A and B are shown apart, each in its own frame.
Chain A
Amino acid sequence: ETGVTQSPTHLIKTRGQQVTLRCSSQSGHNTVSWYQQALGQGPQFIFQYYREEENGRGNFPPRFSGLQFPNYSSELNVNALELDDSALYLCASSSGGNQPQHFGDGTRLSIL
């Protein structure tokens, strides 16, 4: 059974640029959630996708957007990057809303 995989592992961008992070969900999982974890903090919920539809959103501006594909993989897009966007971005998949979420290793994004 393949777990949750995220790419890339690390990424360096400059302010104002755009970035796309990718996540492959665990086999059999139809729900994907994205979290932002700033240094020294707990993960903060960005949004969740269930069967290609957004199913809940946290307190993040519209420049954070996402997609879920028919194979349940997902992308997180961030436009107009700001210094505060530097963080570890975690993707998690599950087989339903109330089921345990399994996390990928994350993408560490650094904004210069």
Chain B
Amino acid sequence: AQKVTQAQTEISVVEKEDVTLDCVYETRDTTYYLFWYKQPPSGELVFLIRRNSFDEQNEISGRYSWNFQKSTSSFNFTITASQVVDSAVYFCALSALSGTYKYIFGTGTRLKVLA
């Protein structure tokens, strides 16, 4: 079975603080993909990143960075120097061949960045 767990339901930080959103996944597939999406109050899902299971190299994009560790089945997302515009619900998702690449989403983490 495939599963994604985002244990943090809601996080509040003050602007300019760093914040890390946790994601733990389960799959028996050896080839799989991990994603992060942002969902602002308007509702659309905004694609942030995709990683495949063979690429454990961490990635940085501006204030965003991602830490992928197969040993702990985790794919954590860090926002550095958070801003009010970062306030949204963030979803981690998993897709794999055995699931016809459908996305398995976590329950999301609501991030509130306070001015």
Contacts and interface: CB of A to CB of B under 8 A. Distances in A.
Contact of A56 (B33, B44, B99): B99
Interface in B47-81: 47, 50
Interface residues of B, number: 24
Nearest to A102: B47
Interface string B10-44: 00000000000000000000000101010000111
A59 B115 CA distance: 42
Given A42-B108, A43-B105, A105 B100 contact: no
A90 interface: yes
A43 B103 contact: yes
A105 B44 contact: yes
A45 B103 contact: yes
Nearest to B102: A45
A43 B39 CA distance: 11
Interface of B: 4, 33, 35, 37, 42-45, 47, 50, 91, 93, 95, 97, 99-108
Interface of A: 33, 35, 41-45, 48, 55-56, 58, 88, 90, 92, 97-98, 100-106, 108
Given A42-B108, A48-B100, 7 more contacts: A43-B105, A48-B101, A56-B99, A90-B45, A92-B45, A98-B101, A101-B47
